[in-house]
Structure 1
């Protein structure tokens, strides 16, 4: 039986809850009615952005001081691609580095860093002595590729240091490869459609192999597991280690993931900063004009304005609701600024409210199918927003395949893109040396979009695993301009949306432990990541991570071997996979307590 006093308490509680819900709803309606970009509060203000860039520039300069006694990484060679991407990896993981012209110089340097990354073209028949010297001094040597067969066959010492017994074939054709679990994030994977040609060597039985080749050819079926063509392995070299990458994995941005896997294998515990951000972008949405009418009517029975409003929006809203990703849309008032039938700019306000309700944001695009001057196109787009959403401040720009010099000047004060803080650009595996880039004289940050939401081939999955491991950063895009201007049958929206939803579950969900953010929020995370510095040390069962940052929180990955985390102060942790942990630091430092599990003791490099 409910007494009068209890009834009064229950009534008061219900009223308070009702008022709270009503207040939240009213606040949301007020915010939406203002027409503002609600994501701006997730980004840093201008002064903070400038400060973060200055800190990044300062740290980057300090890391390349060149004093071997104070460096953690030695880069052996000149300006080969493998060393350029290795240098980028050093900067992003805050590892000081120095350079050597050849392996002998490194071996003769008493202050040589503990880890060397070596251009494989420098390995000669005479390199055996230098490799043995480095091994006797506990050094870890990473060789960017297999030395030439002629070098191997003329030097037993080099073969021995690399863990090679014999050269079976100068070149074999492979259909793909298998990567064993725990080398990088993503678990054990087998790629059947990743063709490559490389030398086939037989390794010593004591060598540990991380990646082996796969083939559908009959000769391959006759091989035992230990005879499979090795693509990446570690050999003990006295008390040191030699890692050999028998593929082109270090000649692009995926090198960051491979080097992280190697460095984390070589250390009993390994700590490095990550971004912790996943972006999902929709290009050419909303489209506010009827274009390419005949093709669109043939495919959908109505014009593009209606297709985007009545077919595409409900579908992508459902996908985002299902995946819990945060939406960044790149608005295209028009795609063809010369030939279009009609516009519906007033639709922009309705879609703004719908996108904002889903915690999304809108940006502008440099893409067009016409050929009017870029500044003219963007000015017209900005005028549409000025008329329909005068309070909406756009800070995100999609380059749409344009080269940097085509739009960089438009960021200047007084130009049409002066408010832009984030540039989203298509990914190039062997493009810019920097995966994250500041562009222009201001604090504009360029972020790569390295996945297509509607495609997932073996090469895409390997890239995903490598870049998630290195950066804790993911970016994908669905390009809806193809709906209006299709080039192939798969550009029909029913096929695109099916593939989009289909590929999320088996592939991207593996990395769902990273935060899903809009472009503005991801931009803020990347800026903090670039500007961070840190120290870490271990005493007994406690690992202390001390970041140097002005951010309220920051993120690191901790890789262990045969240990597990039992507690943490100054932050929190999430187990990603066996031996891999995401650390969120919310204090001046975090102290992680670990204990040995009943796994095999660590036997790394």
Structure 2
């Protein structure tokens, strides 16, 4: 039998637990300032398009960061190279042909004024003229590194000994072969080694989209391979695998070659940054340092598409959004380093009579604020409602539920520039500072949508993540310290197929993919889109110069406006100390530098073990 004393003690403990639980709930409710948007700022007072770095005004002091591009400046490779030069703050001189470059004064320059890298689009070169390859050989002998963004066809290479010698190709095993996958070696792109191949046929159908058909070359001595094809024949030794990306070293410079189409989109940004790092004792360059998880068209707040929702889930749209989708999103977000932004759509179909639920809107605003996530607005509908009408209806609904709440971000999907500009004129977006768009294949993924509003593109599909997307992600983390993953909930709210797939089927791999493929990028910050906006503005505006004195690297930042980040890549050297900033190791020989003032000094320890010879 329980004594009165024990009974009283138990009652007191239960009361205390109940009080603490109730107190925490009440406190959380009181402190939840979901009705305020801390990211609201006067965009006219922020750095804008006119403040962004302009390569043409680069000072003579930074002539070390000069590059030459030979090829069509308006083609896909040309646009990629221009974006790389803009983001890495360098002077880019362009020439339509090797002959035109040979006639320029850049050939005659010496020392620090000589271009350190020549980037070539081989499709615009007449390789039947033997003088083209011979001219490039002379540039290598004079100390200029070459990058072949793709290769001439195998027939052209076969009959051109000078070109084969320049590329380090000993023989052609096959003019075309199809491999089972690709093997990216560590130490080139950030993120480490990755084999883009699986024995699981179902998994392979979902993820395999790398370039698998290419010529098969055997390389000469003095070459170093960074990515190979993996043949279907398992008896072939690794050293004989078809090379895809490699470096041929000469006494005075290096030649890099890409056997495929990987330089024709934004992936080329990181490949160029990685190649440059291989040619220098150290390299340091600015990055955005932002990783975003964009959940687009979520949450929806209207009881719409009820027949389909009941068929697939036996629940209404409201319950699907709240009880099925939200738990999977938040669980995935906890397991990866990305910051969360939800681009809400009060309703998907503006042509029906189903109106959004104000209580559900408040519920989600509180949830998002508790998780430190940003609430943005989506411009997408399934009813093809004009953008102005859609946003006016959204404004009327939100004003009734949460008067005067300001949105600072817009999800525009694939909308064209004119439509985006019309959207930004609406009252609901009067405080907008950034626009999120889907990746469109262009290499300028960060920039300005208007003079005062930035644009940032998503670069990966979190629901259908593939090997090519991962290769692109590694490249962008290398070049910009940036990644942005899109999860579009429209696929669950308004499915376009007749299957019985539910959200659980659609998002089956989402959490695992986000955890596994981003596990090596934890040094970079997880941001929401307005945080990212601020970093993009500072990144686009800054200019810098760097130099080395003994074991100390000096970094001088022009127009310093607050914290900015750089990637420092060394070779078997660690950081001893830093003044004017902080550092964090990304991986071996790669560091994230946060500059806290305009002049930063980084002192390195002596190299451990093998040291690469740089030219």
> Same fold judged by TM-score > 0.5?
yes
Q: CA deviation at 1:33?
A: 4.8
Which sits farther off after the overlay, 318-327 or 299-308?
A: 318-327
Note if 1:375 corresponds to 2:388: yes
On the 8 A contact 2:119/2:147 being kept in 1, the answer is: yes
CA distance in 2, matches of 1:159, 1:324: 44
- 1:76 correspondence with 2:86: no
Q: Is contact 1:167-1:202 (8 Å) kept?
A: yes
- In the TM superposition, residue 363 of structure 1 has moved relative to its aligned partner by 1.1
The range that moved more, 240-249 or 322-331, is 322-331
- The structural deviation recorded for 1:455 is 2.6
CA distance change for structure 1 residues 237 and 107 in 2, over 3 Å: closer, same or farther?
Answer: farther
Conserved 8 A contact 1:562-1:601: yes
Measure how far apart 1:280 and its partner are: 1.1
Q: Secondary structure at the match of 2:509?
A: helix
Question: How many Å separate the matches in 2 of 1:34 and 1:358?
Answer: 11
Q: Does 1:505 align with 2:515?
A: yes
Task: Give me the CA root mean square deviation.
Answer: 2.6
1:131-210 pair list within 5 angstroms: 131-192=136-197, 193=208, 194-210=210-226
Quick check: 1:107–1:131 contact (8 Å CA) kept in 2? no
Q: Does 1:294 align with 2:307?
A: yes
Residue 487 (structure 2) aligns with: 478
1:528 matched to 2:538? The reply is yes
Q: Deviations over 1:31-63 (max 9, x none)?
A: 6457111343xxx642332x342221x524425
CA distance in 2, matches of 1:319, 1:592: 37
3-state SS of 1:506 partner:
helix
CA–CA distance in structure 1, aligned partners of residues 251 and 335 of structure 2: 53
Deviation at 1:342, TM superposition (A): 5.0
1:449 to 455, 458, 470: 458
Match among 41, 50, 55 for residue 54 of structure 1? 50
> Mind listing any 5+ residue stretches in structure 2 that lack a counterpart?
1-22, 198-207
Q: Check conservation: 2:388, 2:422, Cα contact below 8 A.
A: no
For residue 134 of structure 1, report the CA deviation from its aligned partner. Answer: 0.8
C-alpha separation in 1, matches of 2:310 and 2:380 = 23
For residue 422 of structure 2, what is the aligned residue in structure 1? 409
Q: Take 2:353 and 2:337, find their aligned partners in 1: how far apart are those partners?
A: 35
Which has the larger displacement, 487-496 or 374-383? 487-496
After TM superposition, the structure 1 stretch with the greater mean CA deviation from structure 2, 156-165 or 519-528, is 156-165
- Aligned position for 2:38: 38
Partner of 1:423: 435
Tell me: CA distance 1:29–1:53, structure 2 relative to 1, closer, same or farther (3 Å).
Answer: farther
Greater CA drift, 380-389 or 311-320: 311-320
Question: What's the CA shift for 1:28?
Answer: 7.4
With over 3 angstroms needed to count, the CA separation of the structure-2 counterparts of 1:165 and 1:318, relative to structure 1, is closer
- 1:227 aligned to 2:229? no
Distance 1:235 1:420, change over 3 A: same
- 1:160 alignment partner, SS class: helix
Q: Residue 77 of structure 2 contacts residue 264 of structure 2 at CA under 8 Å; is this kept in 1?
A: yes
Q: 8 Å contact 2:34–2:365 — kept in the other structure?
A: no
Distance in 1, matches of 2:135 and 2:27, equals 69
Q: Report the Cα distance in structure 1 between the residues aligned to 2:267 and 2:294, rounded to whole angstroms.
A: 22
Change (3 A) 1:264 1:48: farther
Change (3 A) 1:71 1:575: closer
1:573 is displaced (CA, Å) by 0.8
Alignment of 1:253 with 2:249, yes or no, is: no
After TM superposition, give the deviation of residue 498 of structure 1 in Å.
Answer: 3.9
Which whole-Å deviations, capped at 9, do the CAs of 1:490-526 have from their partners, x for residues lacking one?
A: 8512234442222122112221211111111011111
Q: C-alpha separation between the residues in 2 aligned to 1:47 and 1:343?
A: 33
Cα deviations by residue, 1:162-182 (Å, 9 ceiling, x for unpaired) = 111112222222232111101
For normalisation by structure 1, the TM-score amounts to: 0.88
Question: Could you tell me whether the CA contact under 8 Å between 1:82 and 1:119 is conserved in 2?
Answer: yes
Distance across 1 between alignment mates of 2:76 and 2:500? 35
Structure 1: distance between partners of 2:512 and 2:158: 49
1:327 is aligned, of 328, 337, 340, to: 340
Query: Are 2:335 and 2:515, in contact at CA under 8 Å, matched by a contact in 1?
Result: no
Alignment partners' CA distance in 2, 1:457 and 1:91: 28
Q: 2:115 aligns with which of 100, 113, 116?
A: 113
Q: 2:10 maps to which residue?
A: none
User: How far is the alpha carbon of 1:268 from its aligned partner?
Assistant: 1.1
Correspondence for 2:97 = 102
